[in-house]
Amino acid sequence: MAVSDPLGDMLTRIRNAQMRGKSVVKTPASRLREGVLTVLETEGYIRGYSRTEFGNGQAEFDIELKYFDGEPVIRTIERISRPGRRVYSSVKTLPQVNNGLGVSIVSTPKGVMPDWQAREENVGGEVLCRVF
């Protein structure tokens, strides 16, 4: 079955797996999802991820979730820009999450990056999601 919002599907899988206390969650692979997972890993919200290739050209990611004292490290992960309502932001109006304690993930012409890096590189783009 085709998913109309692949990134939203991945975020929901992560959210649901953390509510159930799972250590690993699987999701189909794509370049956009890989970019978001890379940002989540470098910012310390997940332990890591690995790509599993199948023989028919399909691939999936195994995402290792991170917990601290039995609580998920990701308290809130929510989609901002949706297929029905895209949200774009210039570098001057990039949203700051919890006074810098969280991160907005932005898709820019230079790739998928956290909001602080987009400010450093002076680029805006589509605000994909926010994590804290």
Structural domain spans, the chain: 6-131
Using DSSP's 3-state secondary structure scheme, residue 120 falls into helix
pTM for this model (two decimals): 0.95
Dump pLDDT digits (tens) for 43-78. 999 999 999 999 898 999 999 999 999 999 999 999
CATH of 6-131, one of 3.30.420.40, 3.30.1490.10, 3.40.980.10, 3.40.1360.10: 3.30.1490.10
Cα distances from 22 to residues 67, 81, 98, 127, 132, in angstroms, run 10, 27, 26, 28, 19
- The closest alpha carbon to 127, from 76, 80, 78, 63, belongs to 80
Dump pLDDT digits (tens) for 72-129. 999 999 999 999 999 999 999 999 999 989 999 999 999 999 999 999 999 999 999 9
| Amino acid at site 49 | Y
